Amino acid sequence: MIPFQSEISKFLKVHGDGVKEVAFTVTDVKGIYKKAISRGAVSVMPPTTTFDKNGRVTVAKLLGYRTDCVLTLVDRGSFVGTFMPG
């Protein structure tokens, strides 16, 4: 990738220092995602579940209201690993 053409470089060029993404721990990613979309939220990534021997994690991403800040919903469910599956 050419320097200053990455997603975060473009964000910094427009906004300067700021928050690009915020993650929230939730217990119902699919339900919250569905309700947010029904109310006009913009999807960045639909609910996606990954798993391995340590359990499962479901993640979805939406754009914040009138901003390009990404709101990430995370349900670690029964996952007992250190970070994420795989």
Chain length of the chain: 86
Lowest mean pLDDT, pick from 17-21, 22-26, 79-83: 17-21
Give the mean model confidence (pLDDT) for residues 53-81: 92
Residues pairing with 48 in the sheet: 59
pTM, two decimals, is 0.82
Domain 24-75: state its class: alpha beta
Residue closest to 30 by CA, chosen among 62, 8, 1, 52? 62
Q: Which residues contact 2 (CB under 8 A, 6 or more apart)?
A: none
The pLDDT value recorded for residue 4 is 65
